[in-house]
Amino acid sequence: MGVAPATAGDAATRPAGAARSAKARVSGVSLYAAREPIYQREANGPWQRLRTVVLFALAGFYVALPWLQWNGRQAVWFDVPARSFYLFGLTFWPQDFIYLSWLLILAAFGLFFFTNLAGRLWCGYACPQTVWTRFFMWIEWLTEGDRNRRILLDRGPWNRRKILRKTAKHTAWLAFSAMVGVTFVGYFLPVRDLVVRIVGQSVSGGEWVFLAVASLALYVDAGFMREQICKYACPYARFQGAMFDRATLTIFYDAGRGEPRGHRRRDLSPAAAGLGDCIDCRLCVHVCPTGIDIRQGTQFECIGCAACIDACDSVMHDVGLPKGLVRYTTESALAGKPLPLLRPRVVGYGAVLLVVACALAVGLARRMPLDVDVLRDRTTLYREVGAGLIENVYTLKVMNKSQQARTYRVSTQPPFAVASATDITVAAGKLGELPVRVRIEEARLDRASTSLTFAVQAGDDPLVRVQHESRFLAPAAVANRSDADDRANHGH
């Protein structure tokens, strides 16, 4: 991707005069390509209708989600300051980030599976970049008109009409961005309260920055960057090519049927004109959001949006030729040797996808809504409390990850016994601390440090139970006794 500067080796192979002129600067910075503006023409057809349905479903889902309520709070709420992440009936704590890892692994294998099956499905149909860019293009179409009008408007002089249309476009873009930005921030701050506070002008400076960054990022991205992100910045675009094989459904131009391309009179059949089916109307180029010509073969810029398929099919229909000159097909099918859909790669990705999905589901279902940490007192090693009893002190941190207040009971395995309060009530989503004294008869100890297991169990549900191991320290006399035994046993 980088710019390879002319090396000393290059200079050496040139005539001396050329080497001198190579050092002479030509005006300014010119080795960087300016963005070629893409004036996308609207394509219509079954694929674009499917994309529109998916688009509205995803965008609607994304915008509506924060407004849903659950148990009197926002159903999906990532409360970062409190480190609580609510997802309907689940509350995740920072300790649960392993589930996020599994979710990301699931997403990765989903991407592998579907990309291997049908190319860049994600990019063309589901990626937020695609979704928001299409919304922005619609706004552009509403305010500035279709492709030809937009080209003329941009080339034309700055008159009242142009200023009005441009102003309308950017205003609408910014308004749309603000809506999406507020929604985005609404995942982190309760959105109902946020909207009320925006209207009431009681938003803090930090929140304004958050809102502004979220909104302006979308405005710049979907308004100006668009396909540049896919081409230069997106890592998924880079490595999806590695998941293609000869049996991957991809958008191809059927060169065997289309070439040689050319314009012809309506009343001539292609064969009579000595041409292929392609009439070189360039509609497939005009509708492409990344500005490529699909007829040059598969290219890394192609995001698989199928706009060219719809455009070409409508033209073929108009000129009375069969559809599918540009279509979803596979490299092997184009070569006349179609491969089966269920190939080892697909089966493998699918199997892993299934296993990870099951693992995540089982993990979430069996997730314990309770976590316990045990801290031994660091300064009080042990206490002799009379009657031959030894006492150790611990602090139990009890994390109630469930969504209701609960009372938990602490116990230890005999012969250890808890000699202090055993019950602790912890509010929903809070952490309780309980100092615990554990006692045992000194005669039952035979080493300096003995393993001790705490069990913490919810009073209202015996299945909510966590065990945690700690150490119980004995007096020095016991430790010395056991050392002496060791020495005797080893014959020292």
Residues contributing to the site for another protein (CB under 8 A)? 1-6, 10, 14, 18, 21-23, 25-27, 29-35, 225, 228, 231-232, 375, 377-380, 383-384, 386, 393-395, 419-421, 433, 435-437
For another protein, give the closer residue by CB, 37 or 274. Answer: 37
Amino acid at 296: Q
**Strand stretches in 313-369, DSSP E:** 326-329
For another protein, give the closer residue by CB, 97 or 300. Answer: 300
For another protein, give the closer residue by CB, 403 or 420. Answer: 420
**For residue 53, with 0-12 CB atoms within 10 Å meaning exposed, 13-18 middle and 19 or more buried, which class applies?**
exposed
CB of 71 to another protein, least distance (A): 24
Beta bridge partners of 433: 397
For another protein, give the closer residue by CB, 54 or 431. Answer: 431
For another protein, give the closer residue by CB, 366 or 378. Answer: 378
**Cα separation values, 155 from 39, 151, 162, 179, 230, Å:** 12, 6, 10, 31, 27
Q: Give the contacts of 254 (CB within 8 A, at least 6 positions apart).
A: 324, 325, 326, 327, 329, 334
The answer to whether the bond into 235 is cis (omega within 30° of 0) is no
Nearest to 80 by CA among 172, 189, 157: 189
CA angle (230, 236, 238) in 5-degree steps: 75
How far apart CA 79 and CA 81 sit, in angstroms, is 6
Structure tokens at 445: 């100890």
Question: What region, left, alpha or beta, does residue 211 occupy, with left being phi > 0 and alpha being psi -120 to 50 degrees?
Answer: alpha
CB of 379 to another protein, least distance (A): 5
CB of 192 to another protein, least distance (A): 25
Q: Decide: helix, strand or coil at residue 339.
A: coil
For another protein, give the closer residue by CB, 56 or 232. Answer: 232
CB of 33 to another protein, least distance (A): 4
CB of 330 to another protein, least distance (A): 18
Structure tokens at 11: 């200079």
For another protein, give the closer residue by CB, 122 or 394. Answer: 394
For another protein, give the closer residue by CB, 288 or 424. Answer: 424
CB of 233 to another protein, least distance (A): 9
Amino acid at 285: V
Cβ–Cβ < 8 Å for 452, 471: yes
CB of 331 to another protein, least distance (A): 13
**Cα separation values, 448 from 413, 452, 472, 479, 481, Å:** 18, 13, 8, 4, 9
CB of 422 to another protein, least distance (A): 11
Nearest to 47 by CA among 141, 118, 149: 118
For another protein, give the closer residue by CB, 30 or 201. Answer: 30
CB of 155 to another protein, least distance (A): 21
The bridge status of strand 423-426 relative to strand 431-441 is unpaired
Nearest to 293 by CA among 326, 247, 334: 326
CB of 289 to another protein, least distance (A): 16
Cβ–Cβ < 8 Å for 420, 366: no
CB of 394 to another protein, least distance (A): 7
For another protein, give the closer residue by CB, 151 or 225. Answer: 225
Q: Give the contacts of 344 (CB within 8 A, at least 6 positions apart).
A: none
For another protein, give the closer residue by CB, 358 or 421. Answer: 421
